[in-house]
Structure 1
Amino acid sequence: MELRRVGRSGLEVPVLSFGAGTFGGSGPLFGAWGSVQVDEARAMVDLCLEAGVTLFDTADVYSDGRSEEVLGAALRGRRDEVLISTKAGLPTSDAPGSGGASRSHLVDAVDRSLRRLGTDHLDLFQLHAHDSRTPVEEVVDTLDDLVRAGKVRYVGVSNYAGWQLADALAAADARNRSRFVAHQVYYSLLGRDYEWDLMPMAHAHGVGALVWSPLAWGRLTGHIRRDAPIPASSRLHETAAAGPPVDDEHLYDVVDALLQVSRDTGHSVPQIALNWLTRRPTVSSVIIGARDAAQLADNLGAVGWTLDPEHERLLDAVSHRPAPYPHFPYERQEGFARVSPPLIASRAPQSPST
């Protein structure tokens, strides 16, 4: 398993990591993800460790903390072999003060996560959402205190806009506080918005991407195909509304290309979609999830090989979507691209600058 540094930090993680959102699943959303309990979770941890996957990601909001509890039990006796990442900041109840990034909430949230996970420290602690109500200075000061107390080793964010992350990084630098090293983001062959603002910013400021939902809410498992209904077993029936809408024709075009590459290479559709992501700039780790051991074993086969240039070009082209302003001149006009070359070469037609 390839190891990578997270941004410009000393934190080293495997290129594939495991997302424990399916652990202990309950409720309409998380129950649809999966409901893996301790014995099966322990077996899945075994599979991960055998493959070199040592980073396990969860959140306090996943099944009201049950995901953390099941993960902690599955890792018991093996804490020194793994890295644990969790998130806080989304409301976990209707009680006043639940959610957000205030000092009171973050200190309590970390202590609760440590108890549920059965550990004395978190290797990576991430803010699950931006809190517009709490001063950024309070946020970075609190996180730095948690690092200095030894409860947290590294800090990151998730689902931030570019300006929000830039604001937090600037505040941390100005106050000499612990810096965000990771950004947990949605990124897939069906959702490449990360490339427009967040990827260039991550490259410039040394922030590594941890990719969530790399198979686009199950759309890229190979079970959804042109002119066929969504299988009854698909979790899309319950979870599709949680993600951005996807044009049907665009989905089918991408799936058709994945099926072609699958026929050519012998690799499964999920393996190809995951492998494509591991080769994108700034990506430190792609978080894979699974509802059972068989699904996990297939996803683990996404590494140890490389797409050939022809297949990579095919996937780049079919998944490309026109960029919004102010990005489209840099993508479509030669003069803009010459003065500010993109991290990823565009497949869009170019025209001379005006």
Structure 2
Amino acid sequence: MEQRHLGRTGLQVSRLGLGTMTWSRDTDPHDAGEQLRTFLDAGGTLVDTAASYADGGAEELLGELLRGDVAREDVVLCTKAGVRSTAGGGVVDASRGAMLASLDASLRRLGTDHVDLWLVQGPDARTPLEETVATLRLAVSTGRARYVGLANHPGWQVARAAGLLDDGTGLAAVQAEYNLLQRGVEREVLPAAQALGAGLLAWSALGRGVLTGKYRRTVPPDSRAASTHLAGFVEPYLTRAAATVVEACATAAAGLEVSPLDVALAWVRDRPGVAAALVGPRTTGQLRACLAADDVVLPPQIRAALDEVTAPVVGYPERFGPAARP
């Protein structure tokens, strides 16, 4: 599998990343271990997790595998902090104390003294960005994280954080949802990341599973959309507008004699500025289907057609033309 530099850093990551959001909840230890070994055998390196996944259960399971027959040095380990569990549910908290406590707990669960990439999981309106960024800098200076970045932040915060980290620490990565059903990052986040030298990690590369075409006729009983805790995650893409995109993807796939999954994954994986496309398979079979797409390259005319069908609405001030001038 191709290894790509993460933005303008020296860190290399596999162009397909393995997400662990379902681990220890929908994916049991046996299946998780099989997934990880299959992924590494295919040349994958980037494994993405978070302190909030299964309330730390995903990290704990990954740590057990790293203490077993999987070598730590074979994995580029990315985790996230900034969502704190409370009795009332998850609370965004990117304050210094909460972030550092979360990082230390992540390291204990993962059984390692450092992560390769540490991200702030989401913007915290109550904590100054300067405090959060200073915490990222401290994580690097103390050796607990090799590189740092942001996830799910707007473009202006990406730019501000990069400026604050322009002291040698650097903003290495921006993680955001990016797929044929969600191209909002193209308005500001992706251009900012490219200009500032941060690599984009595209989560939910398959549109929360919808772009595989599995929901074209019905909701499979073993799917996320039928799950009590993940149905709300998938529901926003079970719309008539999304169905049009899925059909376009399926039409392209039929013409190329590949699967809709192949088309959707190849499209986002090879977008300018994308360092890696992240997938979160529940089973090893689903992972193998993603790995099989590694050799798929979309012809320019197919890519152009998909671009046109799914183009995001862009206007002022992202696009400033004669009609907008005073």
| TM-score > 0.5 by shorter chain | yes
Which of 251, 272, 277 is the equivalent residue of 1:286? 277
Q: Secondary structure at the match of 2:8?
A: coil
Structure 2 CA distance, aligned partners of 1:177 and 1:242? 38
**What's the counterpart of residue 218 of structure 2?**
229
Q: Give the share of equivalent positions with the same residue, in percent.
A: 38
Contact preservation (8 Å) 1:60, 1:92:
no
RMSD: 2.3
Alignment of 1:10 onto 2:10: yes
Alignment of 1:172-191 (within 5 A): 172-173=165-166, 176=167, 178-191=169-182
Structure 2 CA distance, aligned partners of 1:322 and 1:102? 34
**What's the counterpart of residue 145 of structure 1?**
138
Contact preservation (8 Å) 1:18, 1:55:
yes
Alignment of 1:23-42 (within 5 A): 23-25=23-25, 35-42=26-33
Summarize deviations over 1:206-226 as a string: whole Å, max 9, x none: 11110111111221111122x
The one-letter code matched in structure 1 to 2:223 is S
Contact preservation (8 Å) 1:98, 1:105:
no
Instruction: Give ranges in structure 2 of 5+ residues lacking alignment.
Output: none
Structure 2 CA distance, aligned partners of 1:311 and 1:198? 25
Alignment of 1:112 onto 2:101: no
Moved more, 202-211 or 72-81: 72-81
Contact preservation (8 Å) 2:85, 2:91:
yes
Alignment of 1:80-119 (within 5 A): 80-94=73-87, 99-119=92-112
**What's the counterpart of residue 32 of structure 1?**
none
Moved more, 242-251 or 111-120: 242-251
Structure 2 CA distance, aligned partners of 1:98 and 1:261? 41
Contact preservation (8 Å) 1:45, 1:75:
no
Bigger Cα Rg:
1
Alignment of 1:122 onto 2:136: no
Alignment of 1:157 onto 2:146: no
Structure 2 CA distance, aligned partners of 1:87 and 1:69? 14
Q: Secondary structure at the match of 1:91?
A: strand
Which of 56, 59, 66 is the equivalent residue of 2:47? 56
Alignment of 1:308 onto 2:299: yes
Summarize deviations over 1:306-337 as a string: whole Å, max 9, x none: 1111211221122124324323555xx7x99x
Q: How many residues align?
A: 321
Instruction: Give ranges in structure 1 of 5+ residues lacking alignment.
Output: 26-34, 337-352
**What's the counterpart of residue 201 of structure 2?**
210
The one-letter code matched in structure 2 to 1:63 is A
CA drift of 1:162 comes to 0.9
- Cα pair distance change 1:320/1:74, threshold 3 Å: same
Q: TM-score, normalised by structure 1?
A: 0.84
